[in-house]
Structures are given as structure tokens and as C-alpha cells.
Chains A and B, each alone.
Chain A
Amino acid sequence: MGQARGKRVNRRRFLQDAGAAVGGLIALPTIISATALGAEGRPAASERIVMGTIGFGGRAGGVMPAFMRETEVQMVAVCDVKGNRRKLAKTVADRHYGNTDCDAYIDLRQLLAREDIDAVLIATGDFWHSLAACLAARAGKDMYCEKPMSVAISEGRAVADTMKQYGRIFQCGTQRRNVGQFRFAANLVHKGMLGELKTVHAEKAPNWHDTYDTVLPAEEEPPREVFDWDMWLGPAAWRPYNAKYPSRRFWGGHLDFAGGSYTEWGSHTIDICQWAARKDDTSPVTYHLVGKDVEAYYEDGLKLVLRANIGRGSCGVRFEGTEGWIEVDDSGHIDIYPESLRSQRRLGKGYPVDDHVRDFLNSVKTRRQPAAPAEGAHRSISACHAANICRRLGRTVKWDPVKEVFIGDEQANRLRTRAYRQPWRL
């Protein structure tokens, strides 16, 4: 039932690195478009990448402007089930372009039906990511999809397969793959500078949610134009409206809508660990509870520790090899041993999205895979979900990364997937 097929992930990183290394000298070939400049210095309208934004919450408030700053992008449509967000998104786009042309939709299917749109930014709540991605692919759109790409293991598999079936470009919003300090750390591993990699540490979100499936008391449902409750729920189980549900502080830990602290940061940090370890095509094979944390092991013995308090900022990772170690996070501070491995270059700090956006747009034009393609994103979020299942069941679980099933654990396997509410399907 829903088992994985043989998958192979390739490095496909050369051109990204080349572009980063020498600026304009190896400008990525504009094999698809964007060669003719319009009068205002932007690519001519016919050469632009026409985009829409699906979901305009906190994240899109940062990422959508990053797309609009790219002169070759024309953001023509936005979509949100909340009236105020929908209006705000349109205002942001219209102000940027100095017109009133941006269209606003409640239902993403209307936006996706537009043939003039080439690509979409998906920044909905977590539980909509996989579904929106599959719908977008079937509508022929490329997509930049916020993380986590799924809230169940089977969802991620469906997304990865669907992207392949339709030849779509999928960039997961795990932008740290294109952020200096994380790239530096991963490259140290890739070049063998830390020796044989033995343990990787991925930070989970501290003070974040334990997972729960609470049902809240019914409240009066707003009009659809104000808030389309049924659409917000989408594939999740129906329940009466309560204003607390749509708050990220609530749904972020609710099992129907998200995966709590493990998927919140693990989608970034485990992803960086897997990327550094060149394990974009697999996941750990055993997961153990150690206190409140989870430790996992890959087939080759590499240990993954999912815990809080790594580094000095958010989303810390630590790589330990036989000849050295490095710890990096969003603060930009780098702890490293031996000190001789420290970069002389300024690597930056924070977790800016601009290079990741640029990388996606380059992929839309060249059709090469971007830094965070669907298969890799699925494998890293699978590890987060498996860790959550280990924690929820309170026992060690074993995972077969080829068949993508838990070994000898029926209850764990039942938690791999979740039935979508009709009429939605992946």
C-alpha cells in the first residue's frame, strides 16, 4: 500500500555553485526565457516568469516580496481563505507594481486554472502544502513550496512522484541550503575535512508545541468572504469553527495540521544534516527515544540526534567527524574544531531567502533541479515524521527507506498516512 518506488537523487549542484563562485561570468543560460529586456530594464513581459501566491501568512509576507524583487517575476495573483490576508496580499503586489492588476482568489483551484501563470509560491498552513503542490503540478505549474512539505510520510512521497510525473520544478522552502554558514558547514563534510562523519545533530524548535489533537468548542462561523472555514480545513478532518484553530500558535502543534517542534525546525535542520551527509535519497533506519529526544541511525551507522539547544541562534546543526566538528546556526556564529578549518570569508548570518528564490527561478528557466527538490525534502521530512511517530508511540521504530514502511510495526505504519477529507486527493 503506497510503497515507494526505486528513487535516485543526484547532486545536481554544480551550476548553483558555479554561479555563486564567479558572479556573472557563468550566468546561467537563459535557455527558457528572459533574454529580451523590456524598455524599463526588466525582461520583456513575454519573457517574465508569471507567478501566483497561494497563502499569505507570515512566511509569504517575507517570501513573496523576495520574488517580486526579482525583475523577471510578475506576481499576478494571490489567494488566501482569509479576507484580510487576501486583501493585504493584493495590496502588497499592487503597491509593488504601481497598479491594481493583481487578482485575489479564495479558492486556489481558480488561481491554478489560469494558463498565464508559470509558477506559484505555496505558503499555506503546513497541512495544505502537499495537496497544493500536487494540484499545482497537475495544473502545469512549477512551485516554491514552503516547508514542511508534508504532515504525513505518504504525502511527501506523493509530492515527489507527482513532480516527476509532470516534469515540474519543485523547490522546498528550506532556504538554508542556500545560506552561507550552512553551505560552508555542509561543504566541509562533502570535502572530507571533518574526516569520517559519525554524528549529526539537528535542532528541534524549543518552547514549541507538543503535539495534540484537541477539539475546540464550536463558535459562530464567519461568512465565507471573511474566512472560508471549509476551505481552510481542506483535507483535514472537519470540526466546528473556532477562532483559535487558524492561529499558527495553535495549529502548529495540532496533529491534523502540523507536526510540532520536530517538523517546525527539523524540516530545516534534518534537511541540512541529510544534505551534508549526502543522504538526500534516504532516511534513518532506526529511531530511539532517549529521554525526551530522539536519536536515529542511518543504515551506514551515522547517528542523527534531534534535540534542542544547538548553537547560539535558531535552527542549529552540528556535524561531528573523526577529525573535527562544526556547529552553525542562524546567528552566524560558527564553533569549529580544529580552528584551522574556519573560513576566512564572511559567511553571513540569518536565514535570508533571496538566494533560494533566485535558485528556484534559475531552475524554472533551465529545468535543472534546484537546491531543495521534492525527493530530498520528502526524505528529510520523513525523518521528522518518523521521529514524531517514535515519540508518539513511545518506542523504538525501524524504517525501511526503500519500501518506505516501518518494519514489523503495524501501528507505526497506520500513522504513515492519513485519509483526506472528501473531495480532496493527492
Chain B
Amino acid sequence: MRRNHLFLGLIIFVCVAVVPPLLADTDTVDVEIAATKGNPAALKNLQLRSVDTLKGNAPAMEKDRACRILRVIGAVDSVEVLAALLTDKELSHMARYALEPMPYPEAGKALRDALGKTGGAVKVGIIHSLAVREDQAAVDALVLLLQDADYQVASAAAWALGRIATPQAVTALSLCYTTAGKQIRDAVVDGLLNGADQLADKGSLQEAVAIYRQLQTADSPKHVRMGSFAGLVRAQPDKAAGMLINAIGSDDRMIKGMAIDMIVGLEGDGVTGRFSKELGKQDADTQVLLIGALVDRGEKGALRPVLTAAASSANPAVRAIAVKSLGDVGDGSSVKVLVNAIARGRSDEEKQLAASSLRRLSAGGVNGAIIRSMKTAAAADRAELIEILRDRRATEAVDELLVAATDNDEGVRKAAFRALAELAEPKDGKRLVNLLVGLKGDEGRPEVERAIAAVSRRIEDEASRADAVLAVKGTTTETKCSLIRVLGGIGNVRAFETVQNALNDRDSRVRDTAVRTLAEWPDSRAVGALLEVFRTTSDRTHRIVALRGCVRLLSTGTESSEDTLKACGELMKGARGPEEKKLVLACLAKVADPAAITMVEPLLADDGVKAEAELAMLGIVRNMVDSMPNEAKAAAQRLRARSKNKSVRQGAAAVIRQIE
């Protein structure tokens, strides 16, 4: 069922919304008006032509257009012709369309004069236009129309009087309300609500209050009672808080909800304090909404003690909203509450919520407070606090993290290592190296290695980035291997030379680490050393690691075509089987050089690597299309002729077509 709905929605959306509009309909009166370029004479001419259209026997839609023009540019002397159309059933609306926004008193008079000459829907429309114009001169006539036999006319008059909203208009509506029949009652209520709002906006608060009270009767529909209650609150700022407090305590859930929402916009001092006192008297659901409204008010100072108290509520929803809110409005003083919630939260969700709030706290002094809390927290909570400090990017925590990295608790140590990798700075480099040297076992080793490499890379002077690492002497094999990996992460000249020298270390683990580090070297500087390993090592693993490393570095494209081919030639020459040749072919596929074709083409006859050779050759000719089209085309033709692989033949043909 759900899929059907989605499909249906998609089909309709594609048909109706996504298909680009195909439009040639650019006709608009704007063009005619713009053509006058604001020239008074041209504007006048356009107006007079429009007036003539209305006076003559033009078709209705031409008169429609003339009214649209006069709506924008019609001067006072165009009112007369428009007034004549107000009683015309077909054109009355368009006449109002032009007259309604005109600022001239004459337009209002024309509408008032037409009232007595029309009836039914046309009259209703005219009444509406008088309302939109807020035509006070029409009030007398409209009051009389409240009694009109046509209920639609009477309803329109009620609506209009509410919009004009003079004291006389609103009084008339108020009187009418007591006797209004069912057919016009809604319009009278609407007029009263609108009229009362306008009176309140103009400062006639007592009059407005009287109207709102009139609508507060039990037989009024719920939404009218809600609207008039809101009006009463707004019109009585001195009583507003008390009224809302009473409403919050009421059994009417709609009024209660609306009252809570209105707290957000309540003006005046001490609002948060006053409503906070009500929290304890309310049920949990109401407390949650109330806290939400108070948070939205944004009076942080007044709210913090309230939230601190609510964070220990017996109700989980109230606790949760308080803990959540502290993340938005709390400060350093809130840390203790939130750390406590992490330690003693009654569910994982509650603890996560507290942790999330700690992460969001934005006031000054928060990191310091968390660091202080760390020292006395239980191990599990300490680890959580370290994670939070890491997410807060609290670089001032590094000292404490270095201590935590030697903590007895494994979870704390791991968290500290992870945090150090992200927070440590160049100034911490030496201490991190000392931490690495002091490590026992492999726990935390990758994180500390990563941290040292990361902070070293941030040292401005590139040549000195490896100095702290190279200063370490006489270490264990584990540490030596770690330092080699760190040097690989730093990747400067001194680091490279040291790692290259390590290829000849007496310790096989150090040699192994050096080969693997060079294979992962960040730039092509290591190609030569890896080639040497490939050529000379008797260790099969080192041989394949070196080969893969070479291919990776050559494939980055940072080496010249000539150097790449030279290296590939050596690799191919020493390759001992199809798997190794395939790796070299993959590298050659990225070159744009006829010499690469020369190297690859013979392998098309080698069944062990034929498929890879074809793909490599296809790659090479594609790379050469722009720079050497003739050579590329000739090679592609040979490839197409020799290959039995359909997709390779198609690829070669595409290259040929592209060149032709």
C-alpha cells in the first residue's frame, strides 16, 4: 500500500511538476506599462486608451485588460468609467479590481454609490472592496446592511465592519451578535474578532477586551473561544501572566496548550521566574511543554537553576528535557549536573542525552570544568568525558590526556590515545614521543603514532618536522618500528633517508617495517628505493610489497612519463609471473606514450596476461587521443583487429571514431 502511494505520488509529481514548462505565453499588461518608461504623457495616453476601451463596445476580455492596466496606472479621472461598470454583473469584479487599490476618495465614493444600485453577489463584492479600503464613510450604510434580507449581503457587511473597525462599526457588530441568526453568526463573530484586534492595535484596549469577553461564552465554538482568549491575554499585558497561569492549570487541553505556547512571546520582566514557580504544580507532560516554552524565551540566567532542579525530577521525561535544555542554555556551572547525569543516569538514553548536552555547552569555562570533573570521575565516566573533550576540540585538555594515557583503566587509556591523536599540537610533540617510547605493548600505539605524525606535519618548518622523532636513541624494536611508521607519516627528506637506511637494519622486523613504510610513502620519492628492494630482496613478501608500492606511487601521475616508463620497464623485466605483470600493466594503462604501447603490445600474445594487456593498451591509446592521434589510431586499429574481447574492440573502435 505504501509503495503504491509512493509510486502514485511520483508519477503525479513527474507529470505535473518536473516536466519543464513549455511556455510561449508572455503576454502581460506589464509590458504595455513598462513601454511607457514612466513618461507621464505616455502613461496618460495608455490610461486614456484604456478608458476608451471601457467606454466603447469592446469585447468583455478587452475591457478586462483595460481594467488591469487602470489598476496599476489609473488616475482619478479614470474612476468615473470604472464606477459605471460596478453594476455590470460581468464586469463589476474587474471594475473593483481597478478601483479597490486606488488611493483616491473618489474610488471609495464610487463603491459606496454603487451599493444602493446592486444586489446579490455583485453587492457582496462591492462591500468587500469597501472593507479592504477600510472605508469609514461606508460604516453607516454597512450597519444598515447587517439587517439585509439577503444573508450573504448581511454577512459581507459584518465581515466588512470588522475590517473597518471604527468604534461605531464594532459596536454595531457587538449588538448584532446578540441577535444574529445562524446564517450570519459566523461572519459577525469573524468581524468582531478582527475588529477587536484592530481596536487593540490602535490602543483601545478596554473596548477590545469587552469584545473578546463577549465571545468567551460557553456556547461559542472552541476555536472562537481560543482566539478570543488569546486576544484577552494580548490586550491585558498586566494580567497576561496570571491569565496564562490559570489557563495552564485548566482542564481544557487546547487552551492549556495554547497558553503554554503564548508564554514564549509574553513581554515583561521576570516571566521565566514566575512560570518556573508553576512547574512543580503541573503534571509531567505540562512540565515538559512549559520547560520547552521557557527555553524558547531564551532567558538563560533565570532558567538555569530551574533546569538544574528539574534534572533530578522523578519523572524521566522532565529529567530528559531539563538535561537536554542545559545543553542549550547552561554554562560552566551546569557541567556538574550533566556529569552527574552521565554517572547516574537511569537509562543509556538519558546518559547519551547528558553527554550530548555536555558536547553542546557553549559558555566559557566549560572545558575546564569537564577536565576537573574527569579527575574524580569513575573510570567509565572518565572515558566518556575524554570523548566529549575530544569532540569539543578541547586542546587545553592535552596535559590531562597525557596523564590519562597512562591510566590503569584500559578504556580510559584508549579514549586518551584517540583524543590525543586529534587534540595534540606541535608543542606537544616531544611529550607524545616520550609517551610512545614508554608504551608497553601495542595498545594505543597506532593512535599515538598518528598523533605524532599529525602534529609534526603542522610544524611550519618542513625540514625540522622529524627532529623530535629522530632525536630518540637506543630504543626497543617496537619503538623503532613505531618511529619508522611515524616518519612515513611525516614524509620529509630526513625522514625518508632514515627509513631508507632502516632497510639495512640488522633486525628483520625493522627492515620489514621500513619496506612497508616506503610502500606507503606519501610521495614518489620512495620509488627508487622500492625498485631496489624489488630487484635485490630475497624475501618474497618484501618483493611483492615493494612492487605494489611502486605501482601505487607511479599511478599517482606525479612522475614524468619517461620516468614512469623506465620504472615500469624494470618492474616488467623482473616480474616473475602473470600476477606481477598484471600489476605493472595496470600502471602502464595510465601512461600516454607510444613507448608504453611498445612495452605492452608483445604481451597481447601472452595468454597469462592477455586480457590485462588489452585493457592497458586501450587505456594508453585513449590517453593519447589528443596528444598523438595518429599513433593512437594506428594502435587502436591493431588492437581492434587482434582482440577477441567485444568490449575492448568496441572501445578501440570508439577511439578510432573519436579521432576521425
A interface vs B, CB < 8 Å? 1-2, 5-6, 8, 10-15, 18, 21-33, 57-59, 61-62, 65, 68-69, 92, 95-96, 137-138, 140, 154, 161, 164-168, 191, 207-215, 237-240, 248-250, 252-255, 365-369, 392-395, 410-411, 413-423, 425
Contacts and interface: CB of A to CB of B under 8 A. Distances in A.
B262 to A, nearest CB: 9
A208 B325 contact: no
B223 A168 contact: yes
A12 B321 contact: no
A211 B28 CA distance: 8
A166 B197 CA distance: 11
A1 B132 contact: yes
B258 to A, nearest CB: 5
A326 to B, nearest CB: 19
Nearest to B222: A140
A138 B254 CA distance: 16
Given A167-B223, A248-B17, A213 B68 contact: yes
Given A26-B321, A418-B97, A367 B25 contact: no
B34 A207 contact: no
Interface string B34-64: 1000100000000000000000000001001
B384 interface: no
Interface string B249-274: 00001101110110011000000000
B259 to A, nearest CB: 8
Contact of A25 (B23, B34, B320, B362): B320
B8 interface: yes
23 contacts: A1-B133, A6-B201, A12-B264, A25-B317, A25-B349, A31-B286, A32-B254, A32-B257, A69-B2, A69-B5, A166-B193, A210-B26, A212-B25, A212-B27, A215-B65, A249-B23, A367-B261, A394-B34, A415-B72, A419-B96, A422-B93, A423-B156, A425-B156
B72 A31 contact: no
B22 A249 contact: yes
Contacts of A368: 257, 260-261, 289, 292-293
B125 A423 contact: yes
Nearest to A163: B227
Contact of B132 (A27, A419, A422): A419
Contacts of B129: 419
B103 interface: yes
Contacts of A165: 190, 193-194, 197, 227, 231
B221 A61 contact: no
Interface in B1-44: 1-2, 4-6, 8-13, 15-17, 19-23, 25-30, 33-34, 38
Interface in B307-338: 316-317, 320-321, 324-325, 328
A191 B295 CA distance: 16
B622 interface: no
Given A29-B285, A213-B29, A167 B227 contact: yes
Contact of A137 (B125, B223, B260, B350): B223
Nearest to A252: B21
Given A213-B28, A419-B129, A59 B227 contact: no
Nearest to B356: A21
**10 A-B pairs with least C-beta separation:** A367-B257, A422-B125, A167-B226, A58-B16, A29-B285, A65-B5, A62-B9, A61-B12, A140-B223, A414-B101
A69 B362 CA distance: 39
Interface of B: 1-2, 4-6, 8-13, 15-17, 19-23, 25-30, 33-34, 38, 61, 64-65, 68, 71-73, 90, 92-94, 96-97, 99-103, 121-122, 124-125, 128-129, 131-134, 152, 156, 159, 186, 190, 193-194, 197-198, 201, 221-224, 226-227, 229-231, 253-254, 256-258, 260-261, 264-265, 284-286, 288-289, 292-293, 295-298, 316-317, 320-321, 324-325, 328, 347, 349-350, 352-353, 356, 362
Contacts of B4: 95
A259 to B, nearest CB: 13
Interface majority SS on B: helix, strand, loop or mixed? Answer: helix
A2 B101 CA distance: 10
A11 B94 contact: no
Given A252-B21, A410-B103, A29 B8 contact: no
A70 B2 CA distance: 11
A92 B125 contact: no
Given A22-B320, A32-B257, A57-B12, A14 B325 contact: yes
A214 B13 contact: no
Contact of B289 (A15, A167, A394): A15
Given A253-B25, A368-B260, A411 B5 contact: no
A237 B97 contact: yes
Nearest to B194: A165
A418 to B, nearest CB: 7
A409 to B, nearest CB: 11
Contact of B21 (A62, A208, A239): A208
A161 B196 CA distance: 12
Contacts of B23: 209-210, 249-250, 253
Contact of B152 (A12, A394, A423): A423
B159 A414 contact: no
Contacts of A1: 101, 103, 132-134
A258 to B, nearest CB: 11
A368 B317 CA distance: 18
A56 to B, nearest CB: 9
A272 B38 CA distance: 35
Nearest to A240: B61
A165 B96 CA distance: 27
Given A61-B12, A167-B254, 7 more contacts: A1-B101, A10-B297, A18-B325, A21-B356, A422-B92, A422-B125, A422-B128
Contact of B317 (A26, A166, A366, A415): A26
A59 B17 contact: yes
B296 A11 contact: yes
A239 B353 CA distance: 60
Contacts of A11: 264, 296, 298
Residue among B15, B221, B227, B293 with most chain A CB within 10 A = B227
Nearest to A22: B353
Nearest to A164: B230
B16 A248 contact: yes
B194 A161 contact: yes
A414 B72 contact: yes
A138 B186 contact: yes
Most interface-central of B5, B34, B156, B350 (chain A CB within 10 A): B5
B261 A166 contact: no
A124 to B, nearest CB: 13
Contacts of A207: 20-21
A260 B430 CA distance: 64
B25 A250 contact: yes
Nearest to A394: B34
A237 B94 contact: yes
B641 to A, nearest CB: 43
A58 B10 CA distance: 8
B292 A15 contact: yes
Given A18-B321, A425-B156, A369 B13 contact: no
A166 B64 contact: no
A13 to B, nearest CB: 7
B93 A238 contact: yes
B25 A214 contact: yes
Contacts of B38: 395
A29 B352 contact: no
Given A166-B227, A419-B93, A18 B324 contact: yes
A31 B30 CA distance: 52
B132 to A, nearest CB: 6
Contact of B257 (A12, A168, A366, A421): A366
Contacts of A369: 261, 264
Contacts of A191: 362
B28 A422 contact: no
A214 B31 CA distance: 12
Contacts of B194: 161, 165
